[in-house]
Amino acid sequence: MSKKKIYDTDSAEKERAVLVKLMQERNESAALASLAELWRLAETAGAEVAAQVIQNKSAPDPATYIGKGKVEEISELCRTADINLAVFDCELSPSQIKNLEDMIGNNVRVIDRSMLILDIFALHATSGEGKLQVELAQLKYTVPRLIGKGTELSRQGGSATIASRGPGESKLETDRRYIKGRIVSLERQLAELAENRKTRRNQRDRSGIIKVAIAGYTNAGKSTLLNYLTGAGITAEDKLFATLDPTTRRYSLPSGRTVLITDTVGFIRNLPHQFIKAFHSTLEEVKYADIIIVMMDASDSECINQAKVSMDLISKLGGKDKKILCVFNKCDKADEEEDYSETDPQFAEKEDFFRISAKTGDGIEKLVERIDELSGNLSNRKGEKSGLYDAR
């Protein structure tokens, strides 16, 4: 992780954050990788990371998570380094958030990993459905945290303040009954959209066309691959969760067969369960795909662990028994070539590992050939039907 200055007056407009990690994992490297990921999440949300604090403790403190002494240390750090945001790499209880804010003082807001991720979703959701899903996830996360807040809910800042933006922020100043009513309304709207999605999916099934889902860890290059293959022109940035809304495009294989390729929402460690519930209909694209491309960033030292996180989520979503192609992307940036044939056997057969660069196109030809071969086999089973389906 690159070092950064504790204080920089040139970026005073940004929220200055301290990252807090409770080190209780036996695997220190995994803990540090999670903290490094939190750093990137904070930067994606628009914060300047001014410092990070690690507490070695066998178990979380019920009241403050990290213990009174460490909280006092953070309070002094925030005062001297002009920090106004503390981000914890965990999920805090409502009472812990309140206790931490009271003890740290200095008008420092305390948020946890889930709140940070939900904020990034609010920042990047562009479609109507995506905004509804984000609002639902935010409100479900907010309801239990209304306890004991009272008028303090008005502490939420403007639309540029981390963990206080998005469609749901104004609802935080209303009473719990209204919020619960809003949740019911959102669930009804999303249920209708899910039914429409189901109808479109049934149309695809009747057409006999093969469906390919690009899944995997956030920032692994899923959108870049879809853009390279289909010219979709969707946003593809070197950021976590740069793309939230799934995109489906038609793609003509070398054999002349046509498949539908969908770029799905990225995965991450400890994905908030509110997200999984709210985005369930969107994530189901993985469940109903015929072929799943699992994208991994070969240039990331955590590549294999990220692959395991992706595969676990795919399994939970019902995609375990699908034909899976493991694609190690960004190989043009990787330091050395690794023998992925010895990777966890749950991923796929050895011949279904591919090394590519979605940016340069290197290795994609072999991947397309394999998709073509599999689509032919699957089409023969389904029995191809005549007629075209508009995937737009």
Residues 223-242 pLDDT 10s: 899 999 998 778 777 777 77
User: What tens digit of pLDDT does each residue of 22-48 get?
Assistant: 987 666 777 888 899 999 999 989 999
Q: Are residues 98 and 140 in the same domain?
A: no
* Shared-domain flag, residues 181 and 53: no
Residue 119 covered by a domain: no
Domain membership of residue 265 (yes or no) is yes
Model pLDDT for residues 52-82, shown as the tens digit of each residue: 999 988 899 999 999 999 999 999 999 999 9
> Do both 237 and 330 map to the same domain?
yes
Q: Which among 261, 262, 260, 218 has a CA at the least distance from the CA of 243?
A: 218
- pLDDT value at position 189? 92
**CATH number, domain containing residue 107:** 3.40.50.11060
For residue 220, which of 324, 134, 319, 293 has the smallest C-alpha distance?
293
- Within a domain: 7: no
Average pLDDT over residues 314-330: 87
Q: Is the domain of 32 the same as that of 162? A: no
Answer yes or no: is 2 within a domain: no
- The mean pLDDT value for 371-378 works out to 91
**Which has more confidence, 70 or 154?**
70
**pLDDT tens-digit profile of 252-261?**
999 999 999 9
- The per-residue pLDDT for range 97-149, each reduced to its tens digit, is 999 999 999 899 999 999 999 888 888 877 788 888 888 888 888 777 765 44
Instruction: List pLDDT tens digits, range 156-175.
Output: 445 567 766 655 444 445 56
Residue 111 to residue 117: CA distance in whole angstroms: 10
Asked if the structure places residue 201 within a domain, the reply is: no
What pLDDT, on a 0 to 100 scale, did the predictor assign at position 348?
Answer: 46
The reply to whether 253 falls in a domain is yes
Question: What pLDDT does residue 167 have?
Answer: 55
Interval 186-211: pLDDT, tens: 999 988 888 887 787 777 777 778 99
pLDDT of residue 153: 43
> Residues 89, 178: one domain?
no
The predicted model scores a pTM of 0.77
Q: Does residue 356 belong to any structural domain of this protein? A: yes
Q: Which of 113, 139, 169 is the last residue of a domain?
A: 113
pLDDT digits (tens, 9 = 90+) for 2-27: 333 333 334 446 799 999 999 876 66
Is residue 258 located within the same domain as residue 374?
A: yes
Task: With respect to residue 358, please indicate whether it lies within any of the assigned structural domains.
Answer: yes
Kindly report, residue by residue over 356-370, the tens digit of the pLDDT. Answer: 999 999 999 999 999
Which CATH number is 251's domain given? 3.40.50.300
Task: Looking at the structure, tell me whether residues 287 and 258 fall in a common domain.
Answer: yes
Domain check: are 319 and 352 in the same one?
yes
Residues 75, 168, single domain; the answer is no
161 and 72 within one domain = no
Number of domains in the chain: 3
134 and 96 both lie in a single domain: no
Whether 263 and 325 map to the same domain: the answer is yes
pLDDT at 384 over 80: no
**Domain range enclosing 19:** 14-113
